[in-house]
A and B are shown apart, each in its own frame.
Chain A
């Protein structure tokens, strides 16, 4: 799949933003006044900034409001609705803390559940796709959720929670990579089933339909980055999980904490890039490619 910067930025920053909103919502940290304003500004900047980035790849962003209509079947529609409801509820909750110093715990909990729902519905946009066997697996939502909660905890200064979640997310990511490498082969979809010609013999793509490239090849067949996949995986594990965990275990300092957050974000950007770049869409089989 094409690793579009808009969706990488969207999933990374919205994930961390909604993760922070979760910890704010359940009252793990209850700031008031100016401090609350700063905390909520950070969470909204990440969550809303990511959502806005995701509209950059739309052909017609001005019609985006129509995307709230098909929640009965579409995970993308459900995600949009979850995100907007969560942001509205958390805005009320945040306004209470900032302007009145009032802590509406129930509102916060509803917002926290909404934040989890938003991250889960985002992950299901990818995990539902039978056409991308690497994504159609329980590790996709599990990873999105643990990364979001872990990143949010890290950003929100929840050291113990962040340590546990980052270790779990790192292990999940490692398992997702290892098991994902064989999932296309195990899916049963190959050039023989794609063309229905397997009963005659070995099928080879002889001539593509056109001399140039096309939308399908640009969108679904991405091979450039895969040759460095192993190195990128090590970088993502190191920056995303190992380094932040080490920095958190050192005696607390704001510099180390800030470095841990930056390192984690860099690592997640790398693994998200791989999440798209490594994923094989079955349409590539028609072109004799993965």
Chain B
């Protein structure tokens, strides 16, 4: 059913730390790998080895430059995937009931055998979290690795989304955001976690942690521009090479 269930007490989701993310895209690759080999239709690529490569991804990392009024610009890497919204507009627009939000843990999923590939759910999502797979003709989205997090065949440390498990910087956290005493909820409270596009009224479960303020600007030596790139008192072979090359017509003095 595409009617949203009453809000669940358990709200599984991700907390993404924009201060820590180094923009390595490892989460993108591990997500693509796990979700191509496991739950549902594989994530296809088109013209993968040409100049016009394109493919389905459930997680993508943008990079933004933010220029404050004073001081140097900051570069911020910004991973984005489904936010498993409480008021998920993608669910209610679905004409077939393929799109649904789980009442037990709030995960938003697509039943691919009911999906007609009309694309309306992707139109309704402000975050670009849903992509219609060009090969399979069905809508793909982040499952929060529902086939990992409850999977008792996996070692306990692997029972978290592939992107979280793989992040080398520890920038991604998985947990129950409905429980105010959970590690992720405490992290959100401590660091001032925020919603993306709150004015869209989707009430995302996933939160983002802002970059920490820079405590000091990097120092540059005022004499740096005057430093010569090559030492003029070179000795031995390097010194000879320097002089010999300078002596050639057009050589640098």
B75 CB–A CB distance under 8 Å? yes
Q: Give the contacts of A205-228 with B (CB-CB under 8 A).
A: 205-216, 219-220
Q: Are A201 and B67 in contact (CB under 8 A)?
A: yes
Q: Which size bracket describes the interface of B in this complex?
A: 35 or more
Closest residue of chain A to B134, judged by CB?
A: A215
Are A66 and B126 in contact (CB-based, < 8 A)? Answer: no
Inter-subunit contact A200/B200 (CB<8 Å): no
Residue B26 at the chain A interface, CB threshold 8 Å: no
Is B182 an interface position by the 8 A CB rule? no
B94–A74 contact, CB under 8 A?
A: yes
* Assembly CA distance A70 to B120 (angstroms): 13
Q: Is there a chain A Cβ closer than 8 Å to B210's Cβ? A: yes
Q: Mark A57-81, 1 if CB is under 8 A from B, else 0.
A: 1111101101111101111110010
Contacts of A129 in B (CB 8 A): 123-124
A187 CA / B197 CA spacing, docked (Å): 11
CB of B233 to closest CB in A, whole Å:
42
Whether the pair A202, B66 counts as a contact (CB closer than 8 A) is: yes
Q: A74-B2, A188-B199, A201-B66 are in contact. Are A283 and B97 (CB under 8 A)?
A: no
Cβ of B118 under 8 Å from chain A: yes
**Interface check A231, CB cutoff 8 A:** no
Most buried by A among B65, B67, B98, B211: B65
Chain B positions 78-129 with a Cβ under 8 Å from a chain A Cβ? 78, 80, 89, 91-98, 114-120, 122-128
Q: B6-14, B47-55, B152-160, B224-232: which one contacts chain A?
A: B47-55
Residue of A with least CB distance to B132: A215
Q: Nearest A residue to B137 by beta-carbon distance?
A: A59
Q: Is the CB of A196 within 8 A of B194?
A: yes
B132 lies within 8 A of A73 (CB) = no
Number of interface residues of A (CB under 8 A): 60
Is B61 at the interface (CB under 8 A from chain A)?
Answer: yes
Contact B117 A59 (CB under 8 A): yes
Which residue of B60, B93, B196, B197 contacts A74 across the interface (Cβ within 8 Å)? B93
Contact A194–B197 (Cβ < 8 Å): yes
Contacts of B117 in A (CB 8 A): 58-60
Q: From the candidates A74, A210, A281, name the one contacting B123 in the complex (CB within 8 A).
A: A281
Cα distance, A130 to B119, chains bound together (Å): 16
Chain A residues with CB below 8 A from B128, complex form: 216, 220, 283, 286
> Which residues from B are CB-within-8-Å of A209?
25, 28, 57, 60-62, 80
For residue B219, CB closer than 8 A to chain A, the reply is no
Q: Is A243 an interface residue (CB 8 A)?
A: no
Q: Is the CB of B97 within 8 A of A76?
A: no
A59-B136, A281-B123 known; A206-B116 Cβ under 8 A = no
CB < 8 Å: which of B66, B95, B116 contacts A200?
A: B66
A61 contacts across to B, CB distance below 8 A:
116
Residues from chain B with a CB closer than 8 A to the CB of A216 are 122, 128, 131
Residues of A within 8 A of B67 (CB): 201-202, 204
Known: A130-B126, A194-B197. A73 touches B64 (CB 8 A): no
Q: How far is the CA of A259 from the CA of B96 in the complex (A)?
A: 41
Q: Which residues of B contact A253 (CB under 8 A)?
A: none
Q: Find out whether the CB atom of A189 lies under 8 angstroms from the CB atom of B211.
A: no
Chain B residues whose C-beta falls within 8 Å of the C-beta of A73 in the assembled complex:
2-3, 91-94
- B96: chain A residues within 8 A (beta carbon): 63, 66-67, 69-70, 77
Chain B residues, CB < 8 A from A201: 66-69, 73-74
Q: Which residues of B contact A220 (CB under 8 A)?
A: 123, 128
CB of B195 closer than 8 Å to a CB of A: yes
Is A199's beta carbon under 8 Å from chain B?
A: yes
Q: Is B33 an interface residue (CB 8 A)?
A: no
The answer to whether B200 touches A189, judged by C-beta atoms less than 8 angstroms apart, is: yes
Contacts of B25 on A, CB cut-off 8 Å? 209
Known: A131-B200, A209-B62. A59 touches B115 (CB 8 A): yes
Judge whether B201 and A130 touch: CB under 8 Å. Answer: yes
Q: Which residues A108-134 have CB closer than 8 A to chain B?
A: 125, 128-132
Contacts of B194 in A (CB 8 A): 196
Contacts of A281 in B (CB 8 A): 123
Asked if A60 and B116 sit within 8 Å, CB to CB, the answer is yes
User: Does A258 interact with chain B (Cβ within 8 Å)?
Assistant: no
Instruction: Kindly report which residue of chain A lies nearest to residue B52, judged by CB atoms.
Output: A212
Nearest 10 CB-CB pairings of A with B: A59-B117, A59-B137, A209-B60, A201-B68, A67-B95, A77-B95, A283-B128, A207-B63, A66-B96, A76-B95
Q: List 8 additional contacts besides A66-B95, A189-B199, A207-B63; criterion CB under 8 Å.
A: A70-B97, A131-B89, A201-B66, A206-B63, A207-B62, A209-B61, A283-B125, A287-B62
5 intermolecular pairs with C-beta atoms under 8 Å apart: A67-B96, A200-B66, A212-B54, A214-B131, A282-B126
